[in-house]
Structure 1
């Protein structure tokens, strides 16, 4: 059994209530503070977090659930969450649900059991209507990053994927391109349909013809982009390619270069995300930036407003 606040109080020659006030951040006399600090150091005292949680009914911890902890896209989002949590004096516990649970919904038990004060669910996968409805209707603080299914009443943060693609197509149009191919994302990714929607809306708004033969699907990997680009090159006839994420674009770039074609003088190529490796390929990739750290910060700030009862 480790030292208790009774031991600290006895060694510092003060009361248990004074020790408790000091440990909870309240002011005490300078001499008392110095005596407490000496006692805490001598006894190697550490607060019992579980006991404190029972008294305060608060863990000062938030859970951050991602669909795959190894996904490089999440590092910026996680950093943004950590910045906001640190400012609030909260810790973060990270979970990868694809390796531990069957679905995000199962992590709600962390809230129900009082293990965390709030949850941030981060996933680029498409969420079911049932899951989204449960997140919306929960009485506990929950924030989402990624797919929200256009369901009202959810605390959710994501980029405007359609608008990002519209910017890309408009950019290529401004360079003089009229025949534009598109490498779409996988159906299970929440952003795929919105990026394809943005591509089609922009093509129509600019009076450009969408050729079904110039649209290929990928799994958003380098290999998927490579294979999709090889299929498109067999069709030919276009002067620019929009890849719906950077990894796909990097794979597409390799396929183009293997055919002896030059980018951008022979064929223009644009990606989406602005991952760090995009500036290290040759030529460096033109891409639309996702503000990953800002996304994480916004999600965390919204979550803490709910924890504090602000919304």
Structure 2
């Protein structure tokens, strides 16, 4: 199609009335059969709703703020991609806000969101202080990965099962000299859950685990490298679990410089299993989070809140994780 698809095009392809398509776009109830046909037509045509017209027509804000601590990792990059995609399917625009893991910046973002009366906020908070008392009654709020308050729905992958799965894989591979790589945190979060479950499983198997925690400083990557430089001269690890893919890749690259031959013997497992782009590969064995499913669930719950549906306190959706192998380049 050489021109931009219209609502009429969607209705024709889905074999429903234009009014039915309009109801679906505007979040009104539509029969399940028609909903599936309309969404399929939207996907095939690449139709994008005219959000400005919708706002003028309904006086409803269609902006959703998505708060991330950073967008400089494949995990957050992939999550941002899917967030924009799935919010768009419901006719909402994503406003991306990078908090830089700063509680002050997060508070400023929430104040901005409340003042501008955005449709909702989906947040991934990694800061040390997050007080929603002033905001939760003013905002439709959903949290990914971190419990914020009983009134705020939580969507997360199963971090506890992921930590156990990483340990189980290393045991199955008969690894005995194990290193856990993590980073200091301001508060108990998902990476702590992964690390705790990993250590508990190893303890149950009577396998000793060395642990290294990098600081919260910007030098944390170099700290991991320096630790490995010192340790690998006196101790030969054959298994490493890093609580994120980022730390796993830092370790893999460092070992490749310090003792390249060791990469053939050592098993390094990260956590996330994300891709920086559609074409990029998974570069390290990992516990993979179902990123798109997490986003779809978060968006679905937020839309329910926007529509005024009652979401009970302590709502929690925990999604399963899986183990994935690194994808090699052709010829490797």
Do they fold alike, i.e. is TM over 0.5?
A: yes
User: What is the CA distance between 1:302 and its match in structure 2?
Assistant: 1.1
- CA separation of 1:289/1:101 partners in 2, compared to 1, >3 Å: closer, same or farther? closer
Partners of 2:175 and 2:255 lie apart in 1 by: 17
Residue ranges of structure 1 left out of the alignment (5+ in a row)? 1-21, 27-46
Residue correspondences, number: 258
* SS of structure 2 residue aligned to 1:95: strand
8 Å CA contact retained: 1:68, 1:96: yes
Q: Secondary structure at the match of 2:131?
A: helix
Q: 5 Å matches for 1:192-271?
A: 192-210=191-209, 214-218=210-214, 222-271=221-270
Cα distance per residue 1:48-95 (max 9 Å; x no partner): 959955x74411221222233444422221222222222211222222
Larger radius of gyration: 1
Query: Which residue of structure 2 aligns with residue 3 of structure 1?
Result: none
Q: What TM-score does the superposition give when structure 2 sets the normalisation length? A: 0.66
Secondary structure, counterpart of 2:197 in structure 1: helix
User: How many Å apart are 1:167 and its aligned residue?
Assistant: 0.4
Alpha-carbon distance in 2 for matches of 1:49, 1:294: 28
- The alpha carbon displacement at 1:291 in A equals 2.3
- Using the alignment, how far apart are the partners of 1:202 and 1:100 within structure 2? 33
Counterparts of 1:197 and 1:99 in 2: how far apart (Å)?
22
State the alpha-carbon separation in 2 of the partners of residues 79 and 176 from structure 1.
38
Residues 1:165 and 2:167 aligned together:
no
Counterpart for residue 131 of structure 2: 131
* In 1: Cα distance, 2:223 partner to 2:281 partner: 20
Distance in 1 (CA, whole Å) between partners of 2:267 and 2:102 is 42
Tell me the SS of whatever aligns to 1:152: coil
Q: CA deviation at 1:229?
A: 2.2
Report the counterpart of residue 93 of structure 1 in structure 2.
95
CA separation of 1:113 and 1:255: change in aligned 2, threshold 3 A: closer
What's the Cα RMSD here?
Answer: 3.5
Corresponding residue for residue 103 of structure 1: 105
Residue 162 and residue 230 in structure 1: after superposition, are their counterparts in 2 closer, same or farther (change >3 A)?
A: farther
Please identify, of 167-176 and 64-73, the stretch whose mean Cα deviation from structure 2 is larger: 64-73
* Stretches of structure 2 lacking an aligned partner (at least 5 in a row): 1-18, 24-49, 311-332
Partner-residue secondary structure (3-state), 1:255: helix
1:224 Cα deviation after fit: 4.0
**Bigger helix fraction:** 1
> For 1:226, what is the secondary structure of its paired residue?
helix
Indicate the SS of the match to 2:168: helix
TM-score, structure 1 as length reference: 0.70
The SS at the match of 1:102 is: helix
**Alpha-carbon spacing, 1:52–1:199, altered in 2? closer, same or farther (3 Å):** closer
Closer, same or farther: CA 237–254 of 1 in aligned 2, 3 Å: same
Shift of 1:200: 1.4
Change (3 A) 1:269 1:48: closer
Answer yes or no: is the 8 Å Cα contact 1:76–1:296 preserved in 2: no
